[in-house]
Amino acid sequence: MTIRFDDRVAIVTGAGNGLGRSHALALAARGAKVVINDLGGARDGSGASSDAALNVVEEIKAAGGTAMANGANVAAYDQVKDMVKQTINAWGRIDILVNNAGILRDKTFAKMEIEDFARVMDVHVMGSMQCTKAVWGVMREQSYGRIAMTTSSSGLYGNFGQANYGAAKMALIGLMNTLHLEGQKYHIHVNALAPCAATRMTEELMPEEALSLLTPEAVSAGLLYLVSEKAPSRTILDAGAGTYACTKIFETTGVYFKPQDQTPENIAAHWSEICDTSGQSAPGQGADQTMKMLHNAATDRGISLG
Ligand code: NAI
């Protein structure tokens, strides 16, 4: 079945360039009305210009689609609230939010200034949270919403020189996990995309032959599924150069020790058993872990938890 977005309204942050532009063009091509948000700064977050967003709006209009530009800085809540107001005034609803805007301030942790850490956290974490907060009430009232966070392999697995960026990108997984639970009742699905694409963010990192394989369009196909009506929720989709995979957070079964055996030495002695992945599971929420731990201890002691 063809995935369409007719009558859907989407906000894509950082849509003036790179992946955001590609997501916006793809959404508009399948019928969505799209807000092209972009502050228009440099890769490190300095400066601002409306040109990039306006160019994408023109491109969408030229192809017969519907779009409008917005220059809000996602890290400034007042501007974000105005963007949401502007969208509601124009199109009456907001179905899709793609939190894509991002900056880089790569440095080894030894050389990283507090400001480099704070700016990156501000744009990725506070920016995504503020845009989500501003549309949350609208989506609850509509009883429909699709929100995508943009995470990164850097946060999921680590990357040399990206302590700030990695911390920010992993924080978005924590935000997704809880918003998935709180949004369920209102049919708000929250997912995360871990992209890999040739953009100004990555153009210096790889040779030309590799960059030519890493098309933004391949990533946008995955993003479109994550914000579609049939989208899953609380998933991390890894997408790049035509490969699509999921990253999952599992917990091993673990080992229970009686009170007298709960020592660091015993933990060291059983380390491979503690880390054994056979029988591992993906808890549905934090409380599942607590219940597993309490169940093991209560069973051993013959206590009924009620
Ligand atoms: P890009 O630099 O081409 O695009 C980012 C856009 O965000 C720019 O147009 C920029 O003006 C905008 N932006 C930055 N700060 C903003 C703010 N405060 N408010 C509004 N707009 C702002 O980068 P790219 O590669 O397209 O990145 C898009 C997202 O994907 C980012 O979140 C990035 O961290 C993430 N990502 C990209 C990867 C890649 O391989 N390109 C890998 C992993 C994650």
Report d(CA 169, CA 194) in Å as an integer.
9
Report d(CA 254, CA 280) in Å as an integer.
9
| CATH code 3.40.50.720 region(s) in the chain | 9-247
Report d(CA 120, CA 123) in Å as an integer.
5
pLDDT given for residue 109 in this prediction: 98
pLDDT given for residue 35 in this prediction: 98
Q: At what angle do helices 163-183 and 114-121 cross, to 10 degrees?
A: 30
Catalytic residue among 77, 165, 186, 225: 165
CB 306 within 8 A of CB 262: no
Q: Is the pTM of this model over 0.95?
A: yes
Question: Hunting for tokens 């150069």 — which residue is that?
Answer: 241
Amino acid, single-letter form, for residue 116: D
By the 10 Å C-beta count (0-12 exposed, 13-18 middle, 19+ buried), 290 is classed as exposed
Ligand 1 and 216: CB distance under 6 A = no
Mutation probe of ligand 1 site: the residue of 100, 156, 170, 200 with most atoms within 8 A of C-beta:
100
Compute φ and ψ for 88, nearest 5 degrees. Answer: -65, -45
Residues paired with residue 99 on neighbouring β-strands, in sequence order: 149
The CATH code of the domain at 9-247 is 3.40.50.720
Per-residue model confidence as pLDDT tens digits over 63-113 = 999 999 999 999 999 999 999 999 999 999 999 999 999 999 999 999 999
pLDDT given for residue 48 in this prediction: 87
Strands of 78-144, DSSP E: 96-99
